Amino acid sequence: MKRLLMSLAMGMFLSSGGHAAGFEARAATPAPALKARDLSGAPKTLADYRGKVVLLNFWASWCPPCLREMPSMERLRVKMAGRPLEIVALASAESAEDTKPFLSKMKLGFPILLDPDGSNTKRWKVFALPTTFVLDARGRVRHVLTGPTEWDEGEALKIIEAMLAEQAVAPK
């Protein structure tokens, strides 16, 4: 029974995106289009965040690892207040109604976008949740992480800081 329980636990962990394989650096790949609406129904695209480093997180309200990393994204937002970083969480293939129970319990200061038909999820080729893309100020994908992390510490924080530093010295 021990073997079964261990394999079950491991399987759940892996299949639910419970593992983080580590950040994968990308060679400034042009980002796919982002066409979504926020919770108020306002349309949003990457152009709305141009000039900032963007942390674009694909999540779902039914995904425990996604929910576990959300508080660290909120702490990161607070830590980075006033700096050119935008955290955006896109609910993959979910409606506003689906996200409501979670968002009513956890107050988040960063924008939540909706992708009810999953079209953004498909355009960005997201196969596991959470998946997070770190974009530079020119809207290019620079890092990808499949699985959760603590965003306000360790490697994640180093990457964000490095991207912000790069942005600070980049020619305007």
Partner 1 sequence: MRFFKLLLLSLWAVALGARAELPDYQVFPAKGTQLLLWVASERGRAEPEMQAARKLAARGVEVWSLDPLGAFFLPQLSRGMDAVPQQDLADWLRAALASGKRVTVYAVARAAVPVLRAAALLDQAQRKRLGVVLMYPNLYTVAEPLATPDYLDVGALTGLRVRVLQPRRSAATPWLPGLVAHLKSRGARVDYAILENLREGYWARETPTEFEVAEGQRMDGLLLRELKILGRK
Q: In the bound complex, what is the minimum distance in angstroms from residue 87's beta carbon to partner 1?
A: 18
Between residue 100 and residue 119, which ones bind partner 1 under the rule CB under 8 A?
A: 118
Pattern 31-50, partner 1, x by CB under 8 A: -x------------------
Give me the residue label for tokens 């970083």: 85
Give me the residue label for tokens 């289009």: 33
Q: Which two tokens stand for residue 70?
A: 């959300």
Say which residues have a Cβ less than 8 Å from residue 103's Cβ, sequence separation at least 6.
39, 112
- φ/ψ of residue 166, rounded to 5: -60, -40
C-alpha 76/C-alpha 8 separation (Å) is: 33
Q: In the bound complex, what is the minimum distance in angstroms from residue 126's beta carbon to partner 1?
A: 6
Pattern 50-89, partner 1, x by CB under 8 A: ----------x-xxx-------------------------
The residue from 45, 100, 127, 158 that contacts partner 1 (CB under 8 A) is: 127
